[in-house]
Amino acid sequence: MGVNRDKVDLWKADVARSVDFYNNWFMMFAPKAFRDTRIETTKQVEQALRWTENLTNILPETLQSYPSILPMLRMTTCPPIARDRLIGLAGVSPNLVKNMEVEDRVSPKMKPVELIRQLNLIGNIIEKMADPDIFVWKGRGDIGTKEEVHRASTIVADRLCGAVADPIIRNAQERRQLSAMKAWLEARDYRELESGEAEDWLSIPNGTFSFRFNVPVQQGDEGKQVNIPVDAVIMRKDAKKGNFPALFEAKSAGDFTNTNKRRKEEAVKIQQLRHTYGEKITFDLFLCGYFDSGYLGYEAAEGIDWVWEHRIDDLEQFGF
């Protein structure tokens, strides 16, 4: 017997309630989450501008020391430059740009002389294409006033945040979901696992839980071990020796399209978990937002169950 996966007659009503629940949260809290991120991003942009003398002197040594500023620098140009467009314009290694933006480092195997040459090419493109309507001081030949720099930083921060608006909202919603689960568990005398208290996810004490835990699985026919991130790991109070903790993934979505594009992610995780630990392990979902019957049917077919956030007390039916 499932908790919600076999209650097909309830799915339509639950989807409608979940959409309303998400939309109410979005209207009340998403603007604040976006504003808070924009404020922090503005500070980061101001710092990056100081390192580059307000885009008047982008030294290769600066890019080498602070490679993570490259996404911000791409947002300073007119028009803003996509990653691949920068690679083409500057004529530099795609691997170098990817390392800088994703790994926060320069290419570790690139020869020093070639590295400096390519970083210099990137800096030249950014300086040449810097938006004159934002960085008004470049036309004057100075480094701008404090007010001008702050205004420019805010505009660039808006561009950066606009490009990643969905992840900002998704991360804020996930934090809220895990906070709701934490409050629910603690109200029933569960406690959050302390750092270093358990050797691994299988040895957490009864009546404890932990968030954002890595669970090792065997991948592929060769049995390569990899870690998969799990949002919530909960060991039931009455668990017997050898019982698995319950595993939950917090999922939220602001539209139906993306959920159906990403529905295979959970199926892959449960398949990897079963391949490694057997059929008794469970992997379930904590849902809020736009998850339609197509998504739910796909997950149910994989043996994945779920709890709707608007009906969080269904966690009791999982044995908590």
Do the Cβ atoms of 284 and 247 come closer than 8 Å? yes
Q: State whether the Cα torsion 261-267-268-269 is positive or negative.
A: positive
- pLDDT-derived band at 253, boundaries 50, 70, 90: confident
| pLDDT at residue number 62 | 95
Give the single-character DSSP code of 298: H
| pLDDT at residue number 173 | 87
> Please, which residues bridge with residue 44 across strands?
none
Tokens of 244: 């698995």
Domains along the chain with CATH numbers: 8-30+166-318 (3.40.1350), 34-164 (no CATH)
pLDDT at position 262 over 80: no
What percent of the chain has pLDDT above 90?
A: 61
- Secondary structure class of 227 (helix, strand, coil): strand
- pLDDT-derived band at 159, boundaries 50, 70, 90: confident
Average pLDDT, the chain: 90
- pLDDT-derived band at 285, boundaries 50, 70, 90: very high
pTM of the entire predicted model: 0.68
- Secondary structure class of 191 (helix, strand, coil): strand
pLDDT at position 162 over 80: no
User: What is the rounded distance in angstroms from the CA atom of residue 143 to the CA atom of residue 228?
Assistant: 47
Higher pLDDT, 306 or 2: 306
Q: Concatenated DSSP letters for 86-143?
A: HHHHHT--HHHHHIIIIISS--TTS-HHHHHHHHHHHHHHHHHHB-TTTSGGGGTTS-
> pLDDT, tens digit, for every residue of 21-77?
988 888 888 788 788 888 888 999 999 999 999 999 999 999 999 999 999 999 999
| pLDDT at residue number 85 | 92
| pLDDT at residue number 29 | 81
Q: Concatenated DSSP letters for 24-70?
A: HHHHHHHHHHHHHHHHHHHHHHHHHHHHTTTTT---HHHHHH-GGGH
Q: Residues 272-290: what's their mean pLDDT? A: 92
| pLDDT at residue number 114 | 95
- pLDDT-derived band at 11, boundaries 50, 70, 90: very high
Q: Residues 139-161: what's their mean pLDDT? A: 88
| pLDDT at residue number 25 | 87
What value, to the nearest 5°, has the Cα angle with vertex 84 and ends 81 and 88? 90
pLDDT at position 99 over 80: yes
- Secondary structure class of 246 (helix, strand, coil): strand
User: What is the rounded distance in angstroms from the CA atom of residue 163 to the CA atom of residue 185?
Assistant: 36
Higher pLDDT, 199 or 72: 72
How many helices (H) and strands (E) the chain has is answered by 11, 6
